[in-house]
Amino acid sequence: MARISERIGAIAESATLKVDAKAKAMKAAGRPVIGFAAGEPDFPTPAHVVEAAAEAVRDPRNHRYSAVAGLPELREAIASKTLRDSGLDVGPGRVLVTNGGKQGVFQAFATLLDPGDEVIVPTPYWTTYPEAIRLAGGVPVEVLAGADQGYLVTVEQLEAARTPRTKVLLFVSPSNPTGAVHSPEQVRAIGEWADAHGLWVVADEIYQNLTYDGVEAVSIVAAVPALAERTLLVNGVAKTYAMTGWRVGWIVGPADAIAAAANMQSHATGNVANVSQRAAIAALTGPQDEVERMRRAFDRRRRAIVAGLNGIPGFATPVPQGAFYVYPDVSALLGRSWHGTHVASTLELADLLLEKAEVAPVPGEAFGPSGFLRFSYALGDEQLAEGVDRLTRFFA
Ligand X SMILES: Cc1ncc(COP(=O)(O)O)c(C=O)c1O
User: Cβ neighbours of residue 246 under 8 Å, at least 6 residues apart?
Assistant: 45, 53, 237, 238, 276, 279, 280
Q: Nearer Cβ to ligand X, position 128 or 310?
A: 128
- The dihedrals phi and psi of 257, each to the nearest 5 degrees, come to -70, -40
SS3 content of the chain, % helix, strand, coil (to 5): 50, 15, 35
Among 41, 140, 249, 322, binds ligand X (CB under 6 A): 249
Which range in 68-76, 236-244, 273-281, 372-380 contacts ligand X by CB under 6 A? 236-244
Are 58 and 209 in contact, with CB atoms under 8 Å apart? no
Of residues 189-208, which lie at the interface with ligand X (CB under 6 A)?
A: 204, 206
Cα within 13 Å of Cα(253), Cβ side = 31
In degrees, rounded to 5, the angle at the alpha carbon of residue 107 between the alpha carbons of residues 105 and 108 is 65
The site that binds ligand X (CB under 6 A) totals a number of residues, namely 14
User: Cβ neighbours of residue 51 under 8 Å, at least 6 residues apart?
Assistant: 282
Q: How many CB atoms lie within 10 A of CB 267?
A: 8
The answer to whether residue 236 forms part of the interface with ligand X (CB under 6 A) is yes
Of residues 158-187, which lie at the interface with ligand X (CB under 6 A)?
A: 172, 176
Q: Nearer Cβ to ligand X, position 173 or 331?
A: 173
Q: Nearer Cβ to ligand X, position 246 or 391?
A: 246
Least distance CB 76 / ligand X (angstroms): 20
Residue 66 CA from chain centroid, whole number: 28
Q: Rounded to an integer, what distance in angstroms lies between the CA atom of residue 191 and that of residue 153?
A: 12
DSSP character for 371? S
Q: Nearer Cβ to ligand X, position 44 or 335?
A: 44
DSSP character for 231? E
Least distance CB 340 / ligand X (angstroms): 35
DSSP secondary structure of 131-157: HHHHHTT-EEEEEE--GGGTT---HHH
Query: Residues 77-116 vs ligand X: string with x where CB under 6 A?
Result: -----------------------xxx--x-----------
Q: Rounded to an integer, what distance in angstroms lies between the CA atom of residue 122 and that of residue 142?
A: 6
The DSSP element (H or E) to which 350 belongs, if any, is helix 346-352
Q: Nearer Cβ to ligand X, position 211 or 331?
A: 211
Least distance CB 232 / ligand X (angstroms): 13
Q: Nearer Cβ to ligand X, position 178 or 346?
A: 178
With H, G, I as helix, E, B as strand and everything else as coil, classify residue 50. helix
The answer to whether residue 238 forms part of the interface with ligand X (CB under 6 A) is yes
Q: Nearer Cβ to ligand X, position 261 or 343?
A: 261
Nearest to 248 by CA among 63, 96, 376: 96
Least distance CB 106 / ligand X (angstroms): 10
Least distance CB 14 / ligand X (angstroms): 10
Among 36, 106, 109, 126, binds ligand X (CB under 6 A): 126
Least distance CB 174 / ligand X (angstroms): 9
Least distance CB 90 / ligand X (angstroms): 20
Q: Rounded to an integer, what distance in angstroms lies between the CA atom of residue 183 and that of residue 153?
A: 11
The answer to whether residue 273 forms part of the interface with ligand X (CB under 6 A) is no
Of residues 303-342, which lie at the interface with ligand X (CB under 6 A)?
A: none
The answer to whether residue 131 forms part of the interface with ligand X (CB under 6 A) is no
Q: Nearer Cβ to ligand X, position 101 or 146?
A: 101
The answer to whether residue 240 forms part of the interface with ligand X (CB under 6 A) is no
Query: Residues 6-45 vs ligand X: string with x where CB under 6 A?
Result: ---------------------------------x------
Beta pairing, strands 95-98 & 249-252: antiparallel
Q: Nearer Cβ to ligand X, position 35 or 249?
A: 249
Nearest residue to ligand X, scored by beta-carbon proximity: 100
Distinct helix (H) and strand (E) counts, the chain:
14, 14
Interacting residues with ligand X (CB under 6 A): 39, 100-102, 105, 126, 172, 176, 204, 206, 236, 238, 244, 249
